[in-house]
A and B are shown apart, each in its own frame.
Chain A
Amino acid sequence: MDFLTESLRAALSLILALDPEVVGAVWTSLYTSMAGILLAALVGIPLGTLIGVGHFTGRRAVLTLLNTLMALPTVVVGLVIYGFLSRQGPLGAWGLLFTPMAMIVGQTVLAAPIVANYTVAAVTGADPRIINTALTLGAGRLRAAWQLLLEVRFGVIAAVVAGFGRVIAEVGVAMMLGGNIRGYTRTMTTAIALETSKGEFAFGLALGLVLMTVALVVNLFLNLLQQR
């Protein structure tokens, strides 16, 4: 019990003292996840809207694929992208492997199906009269789709928040594509895994507390949106 109490005390000291290692990992996690979710939203929201309002052959198959992609283990996503970005891979010449950019690409791939799926749910649950009302008042198809998204904005924000929750807490993509390089690609999750294995439990616990706080804030926000 003393071990846990002492570790917790040490972890809180590291956080309150704004330990550079802790702050560095938190910062890397936050900016890569935010960039990843931004790109995922740019892809996932239009894709989800298109699937949600569209009536096309193969729609059910696309939805099944999206659901499958949502459940993919992060290491599998990391593995596939690693294949593309590694030196022998088709995009190896870009030199992206073990850089924050590679992590952002991985997190985009990880979050886009989540954002798209949640957007599909929001759009299909919307009032079916929205699009026709916008069209008959003079909107074009794009403007009508934008109006639909405005009407279901809480569902769309929830989609983005859920995607962010997934990427900030993942370890597989960050480890495989970032390489856990200290001060460069080390995130909260990869640092927890590494430092704990080295016996630096208090350091891991400090990052774990920050990560839990971020997850708590994200979920509180999600709950707030779902109540609206």
Chain B
Amino acid sequence: MEPILSLHHLEYRRGGQFTLNIDHLDFQAGRVYLLAGPNGAGKSTLLQLLGLLLPPDRGEILFAGSAVQGGAQRQRLRRQITLVEQSPFMFDGTVYDNLAFGLRLRDVRGDLQRHRIASALEKVGLQGFESRQASALSGGETRRVALARAMVLRPKVLLLDEPTAGLDRDSLPLFESCLAALPGEGVTVIISTHDAEQSRRLRGEVLRLEAGRLISPEAVESAMTFSAMEGAV
């Protein structure tokens, strides 16, 4: 099956010091992928590249088999890939305004807009939050609204940068159950994480990055086991 996203000979340099270098990587539709690795390994940069928010210095990104170009095509493809940042930004206004932002851009209006927003908020356990001011939300609520704001757009690829870091224990199962349901709807979920257990809970494939490079699956298994043991100690 044609991968939903592919990276070919990808290279991205930042400030002459850090280089992300991936020779080949495919992401299949309707699967969960977890990007693991230490801080500074390039997980967030890779997510920004996959979200088409950064252009690579070399190589190419393919979306459903077509190479991503610039301009209007990039913008059109970006509407099928949504990134939830580690510390999401909420626009000034209500929770509803934030969720409606992307829907308005896609010309989803009226009752359909209201229905989709209510449904997305319900999925993240924030039903009735529509009229709350986004600036007054707690950190955990902000992350959940950011997830709802991305899910309401029904993207083909959902990217999440350490979405559960710092999330309280009560919110975590709900958050992960939302993510776990997405592959069933055909959504590819790519998450950067430091949580070694998350791959088991979400039944995802682990991709480990170190110093901007992907390391082999065997090394991943060993590294994840080591991390889990570290966590247990």
| Chain A CB within 8 A of B43 CB | no
B82 nearest CB neighbor, chain A only: A136
Q: Which of B's residues lie within 8 Å of A, judged by CB?
A: 48, 51, 53, 75, 78-79, 81-83, 85, 87-89, 91-92, 101-102, 105-106, 149-150, 153
| Chain B CB within 8 A of A224 CB | no
B87 touches A129 (CB 8 A): yes
A139 touches B85 (CB 8 A): no
B91 touches A151 (CB 8 A): yes
| Chain B CB within 8 A of A133 CB | yes
Known contacts A132-B53, A150-B92; A137/B85 CB under 8 A: no
Shortest distance between the CB of A55 and any CB in chain B (Å): 12
Shortest distance between the CB of B147 and any CB in chain A (Å): 13
Knowing that A132-B53, A138-B153 touch, tell me 20 more A-B residue pairs with CB under 8 angstroms. Answer: A127-B89, A129-B88, A132-B48, A132-B83, A132-B85, A133-B88, A133-B89, A134-B101, A136-B53, A136-B83, A137-B82, A137-B149, A137-B150, A138-B78, A138-B82, A139-B101, A143-B105, A147-B91, A147-B101, A150-B91
Contact with B along A103-132 (1 / 0, CB 8 A): 000000000000000000000000101101
| Chain B CB within 8 A of A135 CB | yes
Q: Quick one: which of A130, A138, A140, A147 has the most chain B CB within 10 A? A: A138
Q: How large is the interface on A (under 10, 10 to 19, 20 to 34, 35 or more residues)?
A: 10 to 19
Residues of chain A within 8 A (CB-CB) of B81 are 136
A136 touches B51 (CB 8 A): yes
- How many A-B residue pairs have C-beta atoms within 8 angstroms? Tell me: 51
Residues of chain A within 8 A (CB-CB) of B51 are 136
Residues of chain A within 8 A (CB-CB) of B79 are 138
B153 touches A129 (CB 8 A): no
B91 touches A133 (CB 8 A): yes
Residues of chain B within 8 A (CB-CB) of A151 are 91-92
> Could you list 25 examples of A-B contacts with CB < 8 Å?
A129-B85, A129-B88, A129-B89, A130-B89, A133-B89, A133-B91, A135-B53, A136-B53, A136-B81, A136-B83, A137-B101, A137-B102, A137-B105, A137-B149, A137-B153, A138-B105, A138-B106, A138-B153, A139-B101, A139-B105, A140-B75, A147-B101, A150-B91, A150-B92, A151-B91
**Majority DSSP secondary structure for residues of A touching B:** helix
Contact with B along A151-183 (1 / 0, CB 8 A): 100000000000000000000000000000000
Bound CA–CA A127/B75 (angstroms): 22
Bound CA–CA A15/B106 (angstroms): 55
Shortest distance between the CB of B32 and any CB in chain A (Å): 19
Residues of chain B within 8 A (CB-CB) of A150 are 91-92
Residues of chain A within 8 A (CB-CB) of B102 are 137-138
Residues of chain A within 8 A (CB-CB) of B91 are 130, 133, 147, 150-151
Bound CA–CA A140/B79 (angstroms): 10
**Among B78, B150, B153, contact of A135 (Cβ-Cβ < 8 Å):** B78
Bound CA–CA A151/B87 (angstroms): 17
Bound CA–CA A134/B214 (angstroms): 30
Residues of chain B within 8 A (CB-CB) of A140 are 75
Bound CA–CA A138/B52 (angstroms): 11
Residues of chain B within 8 A (CB-CB) of A130 are 89, 91
Residues of chain B within 8 A (CB-CB) of A138 are 75, 78-79, 82, 102, 105-106, 153
B101 nearest CB neighbor, chain A only: A137
